[in-house]
Structure formats: C-alpha cells, structure tokens
Amino acid sequence: MSTPDRLIEATQELLWERGYVGTSPKAIQQRAGAGQGSMYHHFAGKPELALAAVLRTSAGMRETAGRLLDGPGPAYERIAAYLLREREVLRGCPVGRLTMDPDVVASEALRAPVDETIGWLRDRIAEVLQEGLDTGEFTPGLAPREVAATVVATVQGGYVLARASGSSAAFDSAVRGLLSLLGAHVAANRPV
C-alpha cells in the first residue's frame, strides 16, 4: 500500500474511533507508519487528509450499500439484505458518526460528502421501494421516500441505541421491527 493510501486509511480509522479533534497528525503518522515529512509531502495538512478520508469512507459506504440494493431479487429482499448485512454495530456507522462531530459539521468541505452519501442512500432505497411498488410487490399506499428516510433513520438510530446499551441487540431489534412493518406492505400474492 502506498504512503498516501496508508495515511488515508489511518485517518479513516481514527476519525471513526476518535472524531476529528481526537485525530492528531501524530496519531495519523503513527497508525500509518509514516513520518511527518511523508504526510506533509502528500497532503497540505490535517484538513486535506481528513477530507480524503471522509471521501473514501463515503465511497466505501456507497459501494457496500449499492452492491446489496442493486443486487438481484425482489425489492423487499434487497432492502432486507442491506439492513441485515454484517456490521460493526458497536463501533457505529463510520459515516453517520461524522455527523456527531462538531468540527465536521462546522466544515462545509467535510460535511458535504457525508450529506451527499446519506442523501444518495436515501434516494437509492426510495428507488428500490418504488421498483417494488411498480412491480406490484408492495401494496399501494407505501410512500417510498418516507419509508427510505425511515430505513436510514432506523439504521443510524440503531447504531446509537446499540452503542448506548453496549449491545448489538438494540440495533437488531430495530431492524427486525422495521422489516416487520415493511413486510406488512408486501402484496398478498408476494411472500416475504
């Protein structure tokens, strides 16, 4: 792995663990196994490196979610695959956690890719739900945009509940509840 890639990866991990303020250039260098000269040779400073890390984390989230939401099968199964995928629940969402960092929220440059990624996810889930409506998989009356917002809110809120309780059970319960509600909208001729 190249030095810039090691620096970005180290910053991704540290942002997830410690947030922006807790991610010092020295900690990044130590985690990446890179010297100060290498870091500043490749990046103008911590803000530029943090932006590269946020962009890479956001791209990774889109790739993972896209693989599941764009996969084969009925809409309900694709949404369920996204909700039930393997996650490090107690660490929280690497993108969602950035929204709780005041320094990220205060920086338009750092906040923009986070907002765009969450918006992309909400839109993609709404598209999958609309596909399910269009094919008759879901009963009329399902509101794709609102349900998509609920899916995203359930996942992000599930992370918070799990971290607060120190157990992934709260996340799992929220996901099962949401799938139960969504399953109630599956047309009678379409098994869940």
35 within a domain of the structure (yes/no): no
pLDDT digits (tens, 9 = 90+) for 122-132: 999 999 999 99
In a domain, 29, yes or no: no
Query: Is 44 contained in some domain?
Result: no
Note whether residue 48 is domain-resident.
Answer: no
Low-confidence stretches of the chain (pLDDT beneath 50): none
Q: What is the largest CA-CA distance in the chain?
A: 64
Q: Quick one: CA torsion of 12, 16, 22, 25, rounded to 10 degrees?
A: -10
* Distance separating alpha carbons of residues 19 and 139, to the nearest angstrom: 42
d(CA 36, CA 1): 18
- Residue 181 amino acid letter: L
Domain count, the chain: 1
Q: What pLDDT was estimated at residue 142?
A: 95
The answer to whether 14 and 32 are in contact (CB under 8 A) is no
Per the structure, the complete domain to which residue 140 belongs is given by 57-183
Domain presence at residue 32: no
Model pTM score: 0.90
Please indicate, yes or no, if residue 167 is contained in any of the structural domains. yes
Q: The CATH number of the domain where 168 resides is what?
A: 1.10.357.10
Say what the pLDDT of residue 190 is: 60
